Amino acid sequence: MTFAISSVIQKSIEVKQLIYNSETIIASIQEIIEIVTDAFRCDKKVLFCGNGGSAADAQHLAAELSGKFNFDRKPLFAEALHVNSSYLTAVANDYSYEEVFSRLIEAKGRPGDILVALSTSGKSKNILHAIDTANRIGLITIELSGDTCEEMEQMCKYTIKVPSHDTARIQECHIMIGHIICQAVERNLFSTKKPAVFLNRDGVINKKMPEGDYVKNAEEFVFLPGSFQALKSLIEKDYLVIVVTNQQCVARGIIDENQLHDIHKRMNERIQSNGGRIDAIYVCPHDISDNCICRKPKTGLFLKAIEDFNHNGIEIDIDRSFMISDSEKDIAAGKAVGLKTIMVGNDPLPGTPSAKNLLEAVQSIVFQ
């Protein structure tokens, strides 16, 4: 008999779907993100406790905060209370297992700190004891449990109850919710906001090949007058510079990814030796008939860039960001993302600011 793998996955999805649809749970997660962010801003710490699988989840989440989640930043004070096995066995032996967490909270907890209590049943005595002690000392108590016991819910200031009775499914959601909180807190505390200038490549940075032809090697990549100076100015004004380019020549087999990579490597080297920089290049290598999500005027390349930078602790400030292109389709894509747009070249677009070339466009940005 085969094990019903799909049905387990289905059940896990169903619980997550319930959370996804629950305004109450989403609002609670949001609220907890703010509470935890504020606590760290006030130099407080977050303590986690749980038994068994929840103990593993507790230390996993503590590590996301004290180590890092996505990007390099200062550590945060977060700890799971069960990680000292000598302490645990001593206190369980000399006092009782019920006291293993509460005793440590007495030792480490200070008013304004946070206790995150994980319990799938909501009934564990040592967890209830811990919450009680935490409340008494003045910690902010947060419950992560299942759709069960009300006692724990009544004791905690903030609660998230995963709508399930199945321990494994509840734990899977605890980790998902915990990840969301850790990621958001990291972003709140450490992410920097920067404006970006998105650029089309051919016809903006370098000379476009004749209709139907493509830049196939570094020798055919000819910089347009003023490009170096324009890119240097953007870096000096602290703009991110991101190239978004359709290269259907790859799908058509005219050049391969390696050749494209070579062209971009040489392009970057020359820009850098002239004082500029390209922070990232996003390429759609597909053919128009592939109907992909990235070929401009679709917005896939832009969204991927925004996501990647976010992941690395940089939030692209859309309101202060631009798309510069010689193509109407790119301008449409830029507008769809919410960017300001500048059309360069000889064919101005009604209703869109225009410039003769990249340099003139950049000057209108940096001297505005």
What minimum distance in Å lies between the beta carbon of 246 and Zn ion? 7
What minimum distance in Å lies between the beta carbon of 187 and Zn ion? 15
Query: 319: which 2 tokens?
Result: 């309101």
Cα torsion 22, 23, 25, 26 to 10°: value is 110
What minimum distance in Å lies between the beta carbon of 156 and Zn ion? 23
Residue closer to Zn ion (CB basis): 129 or 169? 169
Residue closer to Zn ion (CB basis): 170 or 234? 170
Residue closer to Zn ion (CB basis): 292 or 303? 292
What minimum distance in Å lies between the beta carbon of 276 and Zn ion? 26
Say if residues 152 and 119 touch (Cβ distance below 8 Å). yes
Residue closer to Zn ion (CB basis): 199 or 234? 199
> What separation in angstroms does the CA of 193 have from each of 27, 29, 137, 243?
25, 23, 38, 19
What minimum distance in Å lies between the beta carbon of 239 and Zn ion? 25
- List 282's β-bridge partners, or say none: 244
Q: How far apart are CA 362 and CA 322, in angstroms?
A: 10
Is residue 318 within the footprint of Zn ion (CB under 5 A)? no
Residue closer to Zn ion (CB basis): 109 or 178? 178
Residue closer to Zn ion (CB basis): 208 or 295? 295
> What separation in angstroms does the CA of 1 have from each of 5, 8, 11, 12, 277?
12, 15, 20, 22, 60
Residue closer to Zn ion (CB basis): 284 or 355? 284
- List 316's β-bridge partners, or say none: 194
Q: How far apart are CA 62 and CA 81, in angstroms?
A: 10
Is residue 324 within the footprint of Zn ion (CB under 5 A)? no
Site for Zn ion in 229-288 (CB under 5 A): 284, 286
Is residue 134 within the footprint of Zn ion (CB under 5 A)? no
Q: How far apart are CA 341 and CA 318, in angstroms?
A: 12
Q: How far apart are CA 238 and CA 253, in angstroms?
A: 37
Is residue 63 within the footprint of Zn ion (CB under 5 A)? no
With CB under 5 A as the contact rule, which of the stretches 48-56, 100-108, 138-146, 291-299 interacts with Zn ion? 291-299
For Zn ion, how many residues bind (rule: CB under 5 A)? 5
Q: How far apart are CA 221 and CA 255, in angstroms?
A: 14
What minimum distance in Å lies between the beta carbon of 179 and Zn ion? 6
Residue closer to Zn ion (CB basis): 133 or 245? 245
Rounded to a whole number, what is the largest CA-CA distance in the chain? 84
Which of 174, 295, 296, 340: binder of Zn ion (CB under 5 A)?
295
Q: How far apart are CA 105 and CA 70, in angstroms?
A: 29
Residue closer to Zn ion (CB basis): 249 or 284? 284
What minimum distance in Å lies between the beta carbon of 270 and Zn ion? 26
Is residue 294 within the footprint of Zn ion (CB under 5 A)? yes
Residue closer to Zn ion (CB basis): 201 or 295? 295
Query: 76: which 2 tokens?
Result: 């945060």
Q: Which amino acid is at 144?
A: L
Q: Which amino acid is at 94?
A: D
Q: How far apart are CA 116 and CA 80, in angstroms?
A: 9
Note the helical H segments in 138-190.
Answer: 150-155, 167-190
Which of 176, 209, 292, 336: binder of Zn ion (CB under 5 A)?
292
Q: How far apart are CA 6 and CA 9, in angstroms?
A: 5
What minimum distance in Å lies between the beta carbon of 24 and Zn ion? 25
Nearest C-alpha neighbor of 223 from the set 235, 212, 213, 231:
231
Residues that bind Zn ion (CB under 5 A): 284, 286, 292, 294-295
